[in-house]
Amino acid sequence: MATSTLERLFEDGQLSDVTLSVHGRQFQAHKCILSSSSKVFEAEFKYNVSNQVVIEDIQPGVFHQLLRFIYTGRLTSATMETMAARLFAATDKYLLDQLKSECESHLRHQMSAENCMELLLLIIDQIHPADNLKQSAVDFFRRYPREVMATDGWKKTRQQNPNH
């Protein structure tokens, strides 16, 4: 199908065959489209006969953008600016390699003293590690340790993890 057709299906939900409930917000979607993009969705739909899926570990706004990417293959730069780290975490759960790669690239280019520790902690929680992002964050920290340790993110991390 052409991207414009998939985008229309995403926008209007016409002929959708599954409802995804994310913290109470309902998303209409198409099993075949989600399954073709994600082995996780494929497995879910193979065994779920109710056509209802409850998702509690992703924020609704992030999930909406994740669905947008599945249907259209793109996100706005504003979305990447505000949600790249949260989308990156979601891509690991749903095995969305293309989106994960795009988020990783964006995060590497936007690395700063303020977000370096947040990114390192995000990577630690990944099931499938993002070695390039991890190496970029470690290298950034090694180059700018004073700047990173002067941030609120560093202080918060030290308070939450006193033994590390």
The full DSSP string for 57-122 is SS-HHHHHHHHHHHHHS---HHHHHHHHHHHHHHHHHHT-HHHHHHHHHHHHHT--TTTHHHHHHH
Q: Output the CA torsion 109→115→97→29 (10° steps).
A: -120
Percent residues over pLDDT 90 in the chain: 47
CA distances to 41, 78, 126 from 94, in Å: 7, 22, 12
pTM score, whole prediction: 0.81
pLDDT at residue 124 greater than cutoff 80: no
More confident residue, 132 or 26: 26
Residue in the structure block whose two tokens are 């700018």: 144
156: its two tokens:
């918060």
pLDDT at residue 162 greater than cutoff 70: no
Instruction: Please provide the average confidence, as pLDDT, over all residues in the chain.
Output: 87
